[in-house]
Amino acid sequence: RGRANDPRKMLFCNTCQEGYIMPHRGRLCPKTAEENTGAAVKCPICNFQVISIARGDGYEGNGYNLCPKCYADPPPEHGGTRNGGNFPCFSCSHPTCALAGGIQGGEVEVFSCPFCRERRVQGGKILLRKNTRGYVLSCANYSARQRCSFTIWLPRASQSITVDDNICSRCSTEGAVRKISFVWKPGGVPPHLGRESTVCILCDARFRQEVQIDMPQMNQVGSTSRQRNGNGNGHRRDATN
């Protein structure tokens, strides 16, 4: 329940008399196993049944999942903040849950979103995520009302990718720009190129060219769809600015 101009949805348990605020946009549906068993898909953290958010009721995205308990009370050990609220499954870094799309350190801002800055939209920050297609840098506003489309798909030959503690001094003029560390899959990198790379995605054009990473442009992507380019397989050794 809520104000007429700000509708709220809530899941309420009559047994324990607990209520959980849900996103006010999208159709809510209990998630069940894809097999014909109809078994409930449960969160491995709190054992709540997962809720699927589908297109409708003002939401036009491709859908996502959330755990009612984690959404309202994000677990800090899996990437949640102590501020509470707005913690869908794609932000979670639980190591064994197939729905978790976040990674350890995924809440760290790599750099501010240039698309959101150009449109003067607040909250635009680029985060490192992982899904079934691999690692990706995307804007935190993608799932919000703004539907920001800034996306950089990272090479699939990466065994792991993390946000480095080092700041790029060349690019950090309007805010901190953190470097990205890559560990390449065994056998996927020629011996003379090494196994690891730590680079600034924004200013190391040579690295982007070698691993075929495409930078999105505002005149090439719409505000409601992501650019699906940049799944390169090239590699290189550590680069410095």
The H or E element spanning position 166 is strand 158-167
Can you give the pLDDT at residue 96? 77
* Averaged pLDDT, groups of 10, the chain, 241 residues long: 58 84 88 77 92 85 85 83 69 79 70 91 86 83 73 88 90 90 78 80 89 80 40 41 40
DSSP state of 89: G
In angstroms, the CA 61 to CA 191 distance is 43
DSSP state of 57: T
Can you give the pLDDT at residue 177? 94
Can you give the pLDDT at residue 23? 87
Can you give the pLDDT at residue 226? 38
In angstroms, the CA 219 to CA 228 distance is 15
Can you give the pLDDT at residue 110? 93
Only one residue has tokens 């690891």, namely 196
Residue 133 and residue 153 in contact, taking contact as beta carbons nearer than 8 Å:
yes
pTM exceeds 0.85: no
Residue 112 and residue 137 in contact, taking contact as beta carbons nearer than 8 Å:
no
Q: Token pair for residue 180?
A: 């990205």
